[in-house]
């Protein structure tokens, strides 16, 4: 029995589609696992009376995010919906369905980022409502502009400056937007009770360093799915992305070790700062450029977090604004610097566009968050009462503590 050329072509196409589907599914699972990292990083940082709330918030946020992105957000960003029969949806080995899952895990990172900033004094259901609107409308608005060419933004950049805004894995689209949304939410909530005593700032000690470290390790491992598998196909996979992610992580570790003076909280957040910053240009930079990018991000996080906690009334519990907001913005700009061929990068990127695109992302995040959190705060309030905050979110909201002590 002879095999025709069309049969061979069909078999190869099926193998390619199924391989790409599996590749992206593994990426989606790795990024989904990162949400456990967000959870344990927060559990280890907050006081013991708020640990259960940290765990529940992250999982509940993911559920609400999935609904918001499935019914609204994915349509806003990509003009696609799932109102078709199962046979149609599963064509091409269900690649488009897995692509949704992968992009959902990115979208759900927005409330997971916000959660760390607003910890210990936020009401539960108002925050879930905010999650629905930020994931359903605010985040996909900018996501669609950059990753789907919506509203002609990328076309305008290319016409005016010869290059579009480059954000391979979401330094600005995901982390920057999430961090700047979190800043607005943190400001609306105000400082936790007891943070200022006798006119001086007091820092609450992390409740569980091993949990904090576990969260950081889970995030570091999952990040290679976040970055490398943003190629979304086996054909597009790049060892350069993996190498640059590694070097940026190392840069963040070493810089935070030195700048943070051996503080375990800084040392475990340093690699995350480096990984946030490298997302945008991980497919362009030389590994030495990635190392420098990560090191600068590590220093930015240490000094900005220290300044916020000791000098301002911005009570960002996990430092998500410096970690994701500022380091994400730095990553967008760094792609325009170290992505240049003159500095060993692959080129094809404009520093002017990277700055403008980063500022656009910050603007969308700030305006969207002001509308969402401002409206919810005015209508139902975002913050626990003073007594509820004193008793802790675990007992107040979930009626259970993290320990079994009688």
pLDDT at 1 over 60: no
User: b/e map of 320-337 (b: 16 or more CB within 10 Å)?
Assistant: bbbbbbbbbbbbbbbbbb
Alpha-helix runs per DSSP H in 233-286? 239-259, 264-278
User: b/e map of 194-229 (b: 16 or more CB within 10 Å)?
Assistant: eeeeeeeeeeeebbbeebbbbbbebbbebbbbbbbb
Are 366 and 176 in contact, with CB atoms under 8 Å apart? no
Phi, psi for 358 (deg, rounded to 5): -65, -45
Distances (CA, A) of 256 to 39, 146, 303: 22, 31, 9
pLDDT at 150 over 90: yes
pLDDT digits (tens, 9 = 90+) for 8-36: 666 667 778 899 999 999 999 999 999 99
State residue 403's pLDDT score. 81
Rounded Cα distance between 264 and 260, Å, is 8
Average pLDDT over residues 354-358: 98
Average pLDDT over residues 263-283: 97
Which domains occur in the chain, in start order? 10-398 (1.10.3430.10)
* Choice between 5 and 256, residue whose per-residue pLDDT is larger: 256
| Burial grade of 123 (CB within 10 A; 0-12, 13-18, 19 or more) | buried
Helix (H, G, I), strand (E, B) or coil at 244: helix
Query: ∠224-227-231 over CA atoms, to 5°?
Result: 120
Rounded Cα distance between 392 and 372, Å, is 25
Look at the chain and count its residues. 406
Cβ atoms within 10 A of the Cβ of 89, count? 14
* Choice between 199 and 44, residue whose per-residue pLDDT is larger: 44
Average pLDDT over residues 301-325: 95
pLDDT at 406 over 50: no
Residue the block writes with tokens 């990984």? 275
pLDDT digits (tens, 9 = 90+) for 99-127: 999 999 999 999 999 999 999 999 999 99
Average pLDDT over residues 168-174: 98
Rounded Cα distance between 19 and 40, Å, is 32
State residue 245's pLDDT score. 98
DSSP-assigned states of every residue in 75-120: HHHHS----S-HHHHTGGGGHHHHHHHHHHHHHTHHHHHHHHHSTT
pTM, rounded to two decimals: 0.95
Going by the DSSP 8-state scheme, the letter that residue 348 receives in this structure is: -
State residue 324's pLDDT score. 98
Strands in 11-165 per DSSP E: none
Residues β-bridged to residue 197: 200
Average pLDDT over residues 271-293: 98
Are 39 and 55 in contact, with CB atoms under 8 Å apart? yes
């Amino acid at each position: 029995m002879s095999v025709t050329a069309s049969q061979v072509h069909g078999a190869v196409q099926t193998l390619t589609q199924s391989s790409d589907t599996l590749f992206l599914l593994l990426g989606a699972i790795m990024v989904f696992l990162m949400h456990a990292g967000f959870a344990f990083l927060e559990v280890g940082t907050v006081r013991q009376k708020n640990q259960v709330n940290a765990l529940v918030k992250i999982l509940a946020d993911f559920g609400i995010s999935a609904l918001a992105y499935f019914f609204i957000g994915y349509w806003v960003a990509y003009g696609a919906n799932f109102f078709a029969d199962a046979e149609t949806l599963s064509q091409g080995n269900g690649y488009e369905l897995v692509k949704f899952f992968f992009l959902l895990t990115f979208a759900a990172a927005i409330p997971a980022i916000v959660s760390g900033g607003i910890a210990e004094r936020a009401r539960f259901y108002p925050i879930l409502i905010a999650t629905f609107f930020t994931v359903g409308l605010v985040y996909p608005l900018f996501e669609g502009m950059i990753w789907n060419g919506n509203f002609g933004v990328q076309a305008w950049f290319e016409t005016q400056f010869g290059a579009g805004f480059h954000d391979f894995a979401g330094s600005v689209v995901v982390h920057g937007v999430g961090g700047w949304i979190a800043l607005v939410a943190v400001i609306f909530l105000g400082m936790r009770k007891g943070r200022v005593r006798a006119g001086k700032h007091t820092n609450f000690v992390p409740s569980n360093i091993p949990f904090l470290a576990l969260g950081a390790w889970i995030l570091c491992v999952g990040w290679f799915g976040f970055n490398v598998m943003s190629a979304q196909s086996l054909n597009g996979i790049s060892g350069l992305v993996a190498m640059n992610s590694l070097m940026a992580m190392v840069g963040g570790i070493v810089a935070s070790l030195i700048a943070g003076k051996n503080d375990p909280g800084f040392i475990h957040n340093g690699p995350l700062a480096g990984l946030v910053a490298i997302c945008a240009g991980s497919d362009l930079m030389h590994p030495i450029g990635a190392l420098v990018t990560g090191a600068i991000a590590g220093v930015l996080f240490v000094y900005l977090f220290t300044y916020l906690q000791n000098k301002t009334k911005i009570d960002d519990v996990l430092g998500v604004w410096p970690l994701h907001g500022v380091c994400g913005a730095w990553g967008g700009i760094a792609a325009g610097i170290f992505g240049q061929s003159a500095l060993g990068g692959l080129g094809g990127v404009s520093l002017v566009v990277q700055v403008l695109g980063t500022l656009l992302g910050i603007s969308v995040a700030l305006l969207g968050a002001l509308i969402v959190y401002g409206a919810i705060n005015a209508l139902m309030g975002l913050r626990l009462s003073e007594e509820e905050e004193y008793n802790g979110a675990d007992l107040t909201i979930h009626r259970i503590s993290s320990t079994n002590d009688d």
